[in-house]
């Protein structure tokens, strides 16, 4: 039930043009309150996921692409 509530809050806030990061945050907070869990668990889970090496590869790949674009490095024509 909490999952459906979190999804509903996220979709409603996203459709009302709230930034996605804020909509996700509010959805999680509403879900945690529904499950009667302490709000202090949010930072603990966030820090645990940030230490994941595969998840860190995605932002670094995007950073590398932005750096290469700013330096005007083009791929060679094949």
Q: What percent of the chain has pLDDT over 70?
A: 92
Stretches where the chain sits below pLDDT 50 are 78
42 φ, ψ (degrees, to nearest 5): -60, -55
Instruction: Output the pLDDT for position 39.
Output: 80
Instruction: Output the pLDDT for position 77.
Output: 59
């Amino acid at each position: 039930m909490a999952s459906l509530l979190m999804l509903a809050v996220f979709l409603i806030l996203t459709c009302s043009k709230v930034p996605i990061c804020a909509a996700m945050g509010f959805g999680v907070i509403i879900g945690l309150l529904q499950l009667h869990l302490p709000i202090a668990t949010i930072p603990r889970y966030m820090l645990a996921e940030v230490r994941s090496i595969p998840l860190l590869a995605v932002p670094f790949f995007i950073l590398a692409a932005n750096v290469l674009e700013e330096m005007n490095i083009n791929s060679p024509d094949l």
